[in-house]
Amino acid sequence: MDRPVHRIEVITNGPDETFALAKRLGQLIDSKTTIALSGDLGAGKTVFVQGLADGLDVPEGCYVTSPTYTIVNEYPARIPLFHIDLYRISSSDELESAGIHEILDGKGVIAVEWAERAGTDVLPADIAVSITIMDDTRRNIAFFFYGPQAQYLIQGLDPDNKNDIHMEQ
């Protein structure tokens, strides 16, 4: 991809901070967006999607948890949220039968855990979020913004320029 990538890194101290950061992102999102999440088991991808869901106004009664027996969970929200977890996926046929093309053609926010298991050609992301475990409570959360919304989202996530921001060609 030739588009410039905007990158911002944030360190969170505890799940509440990761939730709040993702919630802020959810509040800023106002159109169809695909978010690819990567990071080891227990990094905080699901916590991130829970915060995102809150920011998108998924009703409180909907408990957001990783889809276990299905690949996709759909939640009603300001913009419908599709939560996909590819941890157990064994072939791309499973994504096809889960209706991935219809979802990608739709207008929802798509948050994908273990997105790297599908490949960027199958799931082109507007935002990639890579979470690294630093210790028991700290996570390094790197955002890579590919879409035209990059500047707006970075400004919204980091209004005081507190975090490391990079522009890469």
In sequence order, the 6+-apart residues with CB closer than 8 A to the CB of 140 are 9, 10, 11, 131, 132, 134
Q: Which stretch binds ligand ADP (CB under 6 A): 42-50, 68-76, 88-96, 147-155?
A: 42-50
Which alpha helices (H) appear in the chain, and where do they start and end? Answer: 15-28, 45-55, 92-97, 100-105, 150-157
| Closest CB to ligand ADP among residues 134, 167 | 134
66 binds Mg ion per the rule CB under 5 A: yes
Query: In sequence order, what DSSP letters do the residues of 77-117 get, joined into one string?
Result: SSS-EEEEE-TT---HHHHHHTTHHHHHHSSSEEEEETGGG
Among Mg ion, ligand ADP, none, the one that 44 touches (CB under a kind-dependent 5 to 8 A) is ligand ADP
46 binds Mg ion (CB under 5 A): yes
- Tell me: does residue 50 bind Mg ion (CB under 5 A): no
CA 98, CA 159: separation in Å to the nearest integer?
Answer: 38
Per-residue contact flags (x/-) with Mg ion for residues 104 to 133, judged by CB under 5 A: ---------x--------------------
Identify which of residues 6 and 83 has a Cβ nearer to ligand ADP in the complex: 83
Question: What is the biggest distance separating any 2 CA atoms in the chain, rounded to whole angstroms?
Answer: 45
43 belongs to the binding site for ligand ADP (CB under 6 A): yes
Cα separation, 123 vs 126, whole angstroms: 10
Q: Does 45 bind ligand ADP (CB under 6 A)?
A: yes
Rounded to a whole number of angstroms, the minimum distance from the CB of residue 66 to Mg ion is 4
Which residues make up the interface to ligand ADP (CB under 6 A)? Answer: 12, 14-15, 17-18, 39, 41-47, 113, 137-139
